[in-house]
């Protein structure tokens, strides 16, 4: 059943559409904390599914998940995510979810509202190590290197059709969706512009539902500060994707299952044919988590991550949108990483939360 749309979207955007640094800070803090919560469980989720995640958390006496993940020795978690476990964290360790958010910030700082997909490609070539990319992004990167004019990175025309980069088997997976958040943060009250920004970015590597997921997440981030509740924001964001798309169906499904005790079982059953890193299943999960939240930040990101699939991506997206909505983020979630944000971009190894907030707010003001 389709999510019922607001009849007058423009008149519904009656909230605060100004750039508010405190709100931007909460969005960054929520996104980073949610990412860190899901990061130790990501590989486990891919290899053993959500039942493997639940088994690990029960073994660690962390079910339901309401704090950072404890470390259990001699496990996948120890091998792949120990630095992000409870009591072992000194900063937010580099992760592609945060890399792409910082990269989008740098892109907006350099080009402002006028940036295009060619600018996204040049930013990748200059700043994004190829080894930190996966699936659709790595395929797009490879296509760039194989086909581009030698001087493209310095401002020349590409020398080939950039659409070749998105002609890959992963172009409806989650990669574009995780790159979209900040486009909403800097466009409060302007969901169409946020969605357009997200599509310009997404088009380098994605098509179809991959782009639709990115458009929705960006539009949702733009709508949240300018509406009274998440339901109105979701309805407005859904206007930025085709009504007959599978992404629209995913939003409707996630909303329809809000507060259902068997929601996660039903989502996994419905999307059992999809990769754990597809756009649609993870999008439905994000919407379910946001619609089911009672304002408890830890419980919401905990339930999101424990539901499986792409644990760090979904934790980051839900955490950032919760922060943006004004949900209180307890200090217990931010204290462990000490406002230190590790990144793996050329010229950047670590940034402070204060710097990220100030620069994001500055970009947002420049767009208004």
Residue 97, both tokens? 């979810």
Check if the beta carbon of residue 239 is closer than 8 Å to that of residue 194. no
* Model confidence pLDDT, tens digit, residues 80-94: 999 999 999 999 999
Q: What is the pLDDT of residue 368?
A: 82
Q: pLDDT tens for the chain, 368 residues: list them.
A: 455 444 334 445 755 679 999 999 999 999 999 999 999 999 999 999 999 999 999 999 999 999 999 999 999 999 999 999 999 999 999 999 999 999 999 999 999 999 999 999 999 999 999 999 999 999 999 999 999 999 999 999 999 999 999 999 999 999 999 999 999 999 999 999 999 999 999 999 999 999 999 999 999 999 999 999 999 999 999 999 999 999 999 999 999 999 999 999 999 999 999 999 999 999 999 999 999 999 999 999 999 999 999 999 999 999 999 999 999 999 999 999 999 999 999 999 999 999 999 999 999 999 98
Q: What is the pLDDT of residue 5?
A: 42
- Provide the Cα torsion 289, 290, 292, 295; round to 10°: 120
Q: What is the pLDDT of residue 17?
A: 78
pTM for the full predicted model: 0.96
* Model confidence pLDDT, tens digit, residues 112-135: 999 999 999 999 999 999 999 999
Residues sharing a CB contact under 8 Å with residue 269, sequence separation 6 or more, in sequence order: none
Q: Is the CATH number 1.10.4080.10 carried by domain 9-366?
A: yes
- Rounded to whole angstroms, what are the CA distances from 290 to 91, 148, 250? 26, 41, 13
Of 93, 59, 54, which Cα lies nearest the Cα of 74?
59
Of 41, 30, 47, 28, which Cα lies nearest the Cα of 85?
41
Q: What is the pLDDT of residue 47?
A: 98
Kindly report the three-state secondary structure assignment for every residue of the chain.
CCCCCCCCHHHHCCCCCCCCHHHHHHHHHHHHHHHHHHHHHHHHHHHHHHHHHHHHHHHCCCCCCCCCCCCCCCCHHHHHHHHHCCCCCCCECCCHHHHHHHHHHHHHHHHHHHCCHHHHHHHHHHHCCHHHCCHHHHHHHHHHHHHCCCCHHHCCCCCCCHHHHHCCCCCCECCCHHHCHHHHHCCCCCHHHHHHHHHHHHCCCCCHHHHHHHHHHHHHHHHHHHCCCHHHHHHHHHCCCCCCCHHHHHHHHHHHCCCCCCHHHHHHHHCCCCCCCEHHHHHHHHHHHHHHCCCCHHHHHHHHHHCCCCHHHHHHHHHHHHHHHCCCCCHHHHHHHCCEEEEEECCEEEEEHHHHHHHHHHHHHHCC
Q: What is the pLDDT of residue 183?
A: 98
46-84 residues labelled b (16+ CB within 10 A) or e (exposed): bebebebbbebbeebebeebeebbbbbeebbbeebbbbb
């Amino acid at each position: 059943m389709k999510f019922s749309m607001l009849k007058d979207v423009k008149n519904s955007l009656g909230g605060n559409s100004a750039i508010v640094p405190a709100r931007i800070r909460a969005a960054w803090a929520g996104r980073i904390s949610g990412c860190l919560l899901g990061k130790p469980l990501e590989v486990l989720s891919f290899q053993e599914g959500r039942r493997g995640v639940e088994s690990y958390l029960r073994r660690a006496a962390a079910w339901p998940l309401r704090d950072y993940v404890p470390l259990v020795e001699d496990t996948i978690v120890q091998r792949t995510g120990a630095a992000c476990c409870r009591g072992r964290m000194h900063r937010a360790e580099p992760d592609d979810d945060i890399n792409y958010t910082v990269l989008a910030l740098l892109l907006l700082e350099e080009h402002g509202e006028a940036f295009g997909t060619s600018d996204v490609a040049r930013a990748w070539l200059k700043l994004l190590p190829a080894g930190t990319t996966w699936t659709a992004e790595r395929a797009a990167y490879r296509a760039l290197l194989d086909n581009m004019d030698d001087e493209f990175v310095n401002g020349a025309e590409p020398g080939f059709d950039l659409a070749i980069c998105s002609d890959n088997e992963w172009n409806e997976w989650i990669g574009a969706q995780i790159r979209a958040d900040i486009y909403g943060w800097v466009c409060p009250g302007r969901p169409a512009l946020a969605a357009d920004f997200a599509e310009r970015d997404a088009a380098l590597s994605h098509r179809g539902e991959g782009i639709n997921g990115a458009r929705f997440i960006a539009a949702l981030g733009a709508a949240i500060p300018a509406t009274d509740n998440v339901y109105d924001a979701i309805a407005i964001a859904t206007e930025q994707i085709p009504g007959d798309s599978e992404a629209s169906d995913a939003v409707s499904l996630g909303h329809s299952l809000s507060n259902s005790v068997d929601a996660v079982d039903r989502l996994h059953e419905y999307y059992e044919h999809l990769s754990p890193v597809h756009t649609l299943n993870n999008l439905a999960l994000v919407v379910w988590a946001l619609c089911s939240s009672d304002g408890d930040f830890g419980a919401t990101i905990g339930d999101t991550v424990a539901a499986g699939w792409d644990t760090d991506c979904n934790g980051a997206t839900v955490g950032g949108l919760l922060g943006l909505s004004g949900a209180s983020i307890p200090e217990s979630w931010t204290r462990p990483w000490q406002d230190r944000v590790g990144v793996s971009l050329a010229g950047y190894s670590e940034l402070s939360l204060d710097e990220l907030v100030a620069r994001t707010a500055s970009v947002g003001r420049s767009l208004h």
